[in-house]
Amino acid sequence: MQLQIFEYEKEQEVRTVEIDGEVWWVARDICAVLNLDSSHKVVERLDEDERKTFPVIDSMGREQKTWIVNEPGLYRLLFRSNKPEARKFQKWVYHEVLPQIRKTGVFKLRGYAMPAFIKRFNENWDRVDTGYFSVISELVIRIYGRLEMAGYNMPDKSKKGKEIRPDVSVGKLFPKWLEKRSPEKINKFKMYNHKLPEGMEISEVEARQYELMVLPEFIEYVDTVWLKERSYKYFQERDEKALDYLPKLIPDFKSPRGKTSHRKIGNSKKS
């Protein structure tokens, strides 16, 4: 496995490596672009499935271990930077790096066109205030990214022709759960203007952005409630192919009938 090097702004090198069909990024390079200090400390805060070490050769010809991050890990690093450079760098990744990787046949997890969910995330993540997080920014990592890593590419639209937007479902249900789980945090949010896809009757809607202190509860809700109790019905009504991959995200995933799912990848039968 060899590193592929890209030049950002004709000054900084950004190294990537393809492992089992997935692109990983050298964390030190990303942190340098985003002006994040102590890259090793930043990376250690990521989930274990978002980071790993990789051998590289330093300027003296010695083999050294360096941290690399996958795409969900890359999003995490982008979120940690409040500087305008983060937005600029993200555009460069999507419009220059990933298309070039796809042309070489290295990156195979997505098609060439930017998925609608990612496009909407791109158009909204910098609308969220410092110290807050939005539902879609977290779901890019916790649902979209993890499903993609499992081998499932979420389509833009459901079988009924409507755009698939799990953030709407999570956004409506999470406040009700939070009020019971941590009522003292129910008001730890404010609204931001969320841009909608082109072609819709309205261009923006108000959406919640939560204080970072609510993030542990949000992650708990997504991982232990929505994915386990709501995701089956959500995807069954929109794209049944996703049902084959939910068990990969949830080892003890249970179908609505209360039995552990044993669907096999590629099996088109309904549960």
pTM of the predicted model, to two decimals? Answer: 0.61
Residues 48 and 147 in one domain: no
The whole-angstrom separation of Cα 225 and Cα 180 is 13
Mark whether 98 and 183 lie in a shared domain: no
Q: What whole-number distance in Å separates Cα of residue 158 and Cα of residue 144?
A: 15
Same domain, 229 and 182: yes
User: What type of residue is 215?
Assistant: L
135 and 71, same domain (yes or no): no
Domain count, the chain: 2
Domain boundary among 46, 78, 108: 108
- Verify that 165 and 39 share a domain, yes or no: no
Domain match, 199 and 261 both: yes
- Predicted local confidence at residue 1, as pLDDT: 60
Per-residue buried b or exposed e for 130-150, using 16+ beta carbons within 10 Å of the residue's own CB: eebbbbbbbbbbbbbbbbbbe
Convert the pLDDT of each residue in 216-271 to its tens digit. Answer: 999 999 999 999 999 999 999 999 999 998 888 876 666 554 444 444 433 433 33
20 and 119 inside one domain: no
- 94, pLDDT greater than 70: no
**Residue ranges with strand state E in the chain:** 4-8, 12-19, 22-26, 51-57, 63-69, 132-134, 189-195, 204-211
Of 23-32, 51-60, 103-112, 224-233, which range is least confident? 103-112
- 153 and 92 in one domain? no
CATH number of the domain that 100 lies in?
3.10.260
pLDDT in tens, 147-206: 877 778 888 999 888 889 999 999 999 999 999 999 999 999 999 999 998 777 889 999
Could you tell me the residue range of the domain that residue 38 belongs to? 1-108
Give the pLDDT confidence score for residue 181 in this predicted structure.
95
- Both 104 and 125 in one domain: the answer is no
Q: How many CB atoms lie within 10 A of CB 18?
A: 18
- Within 8 A by CB and 6+ apart from 69, the residues are 24, 25, 27, 30, 43, 46, 50, 51, 76, 77
Does residue 176 sit in the same domain as residue 76? no
Helices 27-34 and 71-80 sit at what angle, rounded to 10 degrees? 30
**DSSP annotation of 156:** S
Average pLDDT over residues 30-43: 84
